[in-house]
Amino acid sequence: MKKRWICLFVENQIGVLTKIAGLFSSKAYNIDSITVGETEDQTISRMTIGLTSDDQTFEQVKKQLNRSVEVIKVVDYTEIPTHMKEILFVKISSCNREDKEEIFRIANVFGCTVTDYDKNTVLLECTQTEGKNNDIIRLLQSCFPNRIEVVRGGNVAIEAVSRKDNS
């Protein structure tokens, strides 16, 4: 079992997201994350799909996606150099002065932005890799248990321009 990434170009039409999601569920493949958005061509949507699977299942996933009429192109992003980021918002509530200072330090070290705050609450915005966002959530959870609210945007990925190996 291994983490995989697929970049999928599909027709930008009603029902296509359901079709793709339904294809995964009907074949009992599990999606870890999926993001969708319009591309520079309004008739095409682009999806970034993360999943964990063995080699054989992953081959099937790619073939099944490819045979769908609505799918224009399937690109395997697992082994090629890409830039991949996920947006994460974390709201920390009931903060005192010391808490706020600690949050600002964390933001500084982890490269997050303090997007908004008021007297007791701080909102952090992090645009990082999925793994780094996991680390930030874990840290904030341990520093401020039961006081954080998390929303994650899922990953978007694009092929690297200069890098030729996947390091």
Partner 1 sequence: MKMNGAQLFVKALKEEGVDTLFAYPGGTAIDMFDALYGVEGIDVVLPRHEQALVHEADGYARSTGKVGVCLVTSGPGATNLVTGIATANYDSVPLVCFTGQVPTYLIGNDAFQEVDIVGIVRSICKYAVTVRDRKDLGRIIKEAFYIARTGKPGPVLVDIPKDIQLEMGSDEYPSTVSIRGYKPSEGVHVGQVRRAMAMLGKAKHPVFLIGGGVNISHAQKELQELAERTGVPVITTIMGKGAIATNHPLYIGNIGIHGNYASNKAISECDVLFSIGTRFNDRITGKISEFAKKAKIIHVDIDSASISRNIVVDIPIVADAKTAIQTMLENITKPEIGDWVKEILEWKAAYPIQMENYKGMTPEKIIRKINELFPSSIVVTDVGQNQLWTTQYLELDQNRQLLTSGGLGTMGYGFPAAIGAKLGNPDKDVICISGDGGMQMNIQEMATAVALELPVIICVLNNGYLGNVRQWQEMFLDGRYSSTCLKYRRRCGRDCADPDKCCPPYTPDYVKLAESYDAKGIRVTKLEGIEAAFQEARSNQAGPTLIEFIIEREANVLPIVPGGKALSDMIMDC
Q: Give contact residues for partner 1 (rule: CB under 8 A).
A: 10-11, 14-15, 18-19, 22-23, 26, 56, 59-60, 63-64, 66-72
CA distance 125 to 114: 6
Of 40, 34, 1, 42, nearest in space to 18 by CA: 34
Estimate the crossing angle of helix 130-143 against helix 97-110, to 10 degrees.
160
Choose between 40 and 118: whose C-beta lies nearer to partner 1. Answer: 40
| Smallest distance from partner 1 to CB 55, Å | 10
Quick one: 12 or 82, whose CB is closer to partner 1? Answer: 12
**Least distance from C-beta 51 to partner 1, angstroms?**
17
- Measured distance between the N- and C-terminal CA atoms of the chain, rounded to whole angstroms: 20
**Which CB, 70 or 102, lies closer to partner 1?**
70
CA dist 24 and 46 (Å) reads 17
Return the ∠ at Cα 134 (arms to 110 and 3), rounded to 5°: 125
Nearer to partner 1, 26 or 167 (CB): 26
Shortest separation between residue 67's beta carbon and partner 1, angstroms: 5
